[in-house]
Amino acid sequence: MGPVSSDAVNRYLKQTRELFGDELFLEKKAVLSPTGPTINSDYPSDLVKFYEQIHECHNCALGNSRTQFVFGVGDPNASLVLVGEAPGEQEDLKGEPFVGRAGQLLDKILTAIDRSRQKDVYICNVLKCRPPNNRDPFADEVSECEPYLIHQINLIQPKLIVALGRVAGKTLLNVDKPLKSMRGILHDYHGTPLIVTYHPAALLRNPNWKPETWKDFKWIRSIIDA
Ligand code: SF4
């Protein structure tokens, strides 16, 4: 079959529109909508009620090994949502994401962009419960827990999501890539722009990555300030 001219395409579209009206074109848009984990339409339209609904979840095995369920903290109307992979030991004990030395470093970074965990920022993880020995999340755990994250993001409606670290980035983007090939790109997560940067715990181990992180956060600030 030879190349199709733009005149022929326009003629075909005109005829199709005359036959079927606009409905065909609207239908095509729905087909192109993003796919992903199934969202439960019974989830409440309020973060506090959503916490009350899911905080005793045992949909995966981590519900049996956790100390505390770690829902997320911050401004329910935040422009910026920060997402880590899963709670660590301190988070599991306190029930709050990003505590300890890594959390303190994250707080300093947020202060540098004139934000805080109470002001215009919401912080959470892909998983709400700690994997034993801080291992990476398993695929079945992510598929059970990610709909909770997506609903949180739908309620908050941020301008930007930032995945902290390689594991959070590759899990949210559903790719298996090193962090350096995910950084510096404005990705899409179910309709919300997403940036991947270093995890603050990695910055504690590798302080020479801080200048690159600062570049990322200046970019992040320019997006959420716009
Ligand atoms: S990790 Fe998520 S899906 Fe698994 S038990 Fe905890 S809240 Fe439920």
**Ligand 1 environment, Cβ below 6 A:** 57-60, 62-63, 127-129, 141, 144-145
Q: What does the pLDDT read at residue 189?
A: 98
Q: What is the dihedral of CA 211, 171, 222, 192, to 10 degrees?
A: 180
The pLDDT of residue 22 is above 60: no
List the one residue out of 143, 158, 149 whose CA is nearest residue 191. Answer: 158
Other C-beta atoms within 10 Å of 144: how many? 20
17 alpha carbon – ligand 1 mean position (Å): 47
Q: What does the pLDDT read at residue 42?
A: 83
Flag whether 5 is in a domain.
no
Flag whether 21 is in a domain.
no
**Interatomic CA distance for residues 5 and 173, integer angstroms:** 37
The pLDDT of residue 18 is above 70: no
Determine what percent of the chain is predicted with pLDDT higher than 70. Answer: 82
Of how many residues is the chain composed? 226
Flag whether 3 is in a domain.
no
Average pLDDT score over residue span 129-133: 97
Flag whether 87 is in a domain.
yes
User: How far, rounded to the nearest angstrom, does the alpha carbon of residue 101 sit from its chain's CA centroid?
Assistant: 23
Instruction: Say which CATH number the domain at 127 has.
Output: 3.40.470.10
The residue range of the domain holding 109 is 43-225
pLDDT tens-digit readout, 60-87: 999 999 999 999 999 999 999 999 999 9
Domains of the chain: total: 1
106 alpha carbon – ligand 1 mean position (Å): 25
